[in-house]
Structure 1
Amino acid sequence: MAKRKDILKRFGERVRELRKEQGYSQENFAYACELDRTYVGGIERGERNVALRNIERIAATLGISVAELMDGV
């Protein structure tokens, strides 16, 4: 069985995919989430273990539920 990517990498890829689908630059997305751009970059690279409050902020900014954000992660 092939090893799955680390959950932080999978989550980061999901956030990047959804952000780009909605046409956000990383900087504008971070601003809309009220998060630092470097923090969002770290999330997308799978370097950050994201707090639940920030996961909720990201989902709200994308206009989706936390469950939808986590779909496939």
Structure 2
Amino acid sequence: MSTSLPARIGLAIRKRREQLGVSQEAFADSIQMHRNYYGAIERGEKTMRLDTLERVAVGLDVEAWRLLREATD
């Protein structure tokens, strides 16, 4: 796998958010995160701490481990 883990996690997060039909900006607002930071997460430019991953997962109504699983499958 040549794609970095942060990029694969970001893609899994983006897919979930898009399934919910929510814009990046609206989602970032809903989890009280700056939209630029959240956008960087989706693009795989940020390596998240576990508590940040949990915050995103809760906003997406999914367990954090599922996002990690999707990123590594």
TM-score, normalising length: structure 1: 0.89
Q: In structure 2, what is the equivalent of residue 53 of structure 1?
A: 51
Which runs of 5 or more residues in structure 1 are unaligned? none
TM-superposed CA distance for 1:18, in Å, is: 0.5
| CA-atom RMSD in angstroms | 1.0
Gaps of 5+ in 2: none
| TM-score, length-scaled by structure 2 | 0.89
Q: Is it true that 1:23 corresponds to 2:27 in the alignment?
A: no
Larger radius of gyration: 1
Structure 1 residue 72: Cα displacement: 2.2
The structure with the largest helix share of the pair is 2
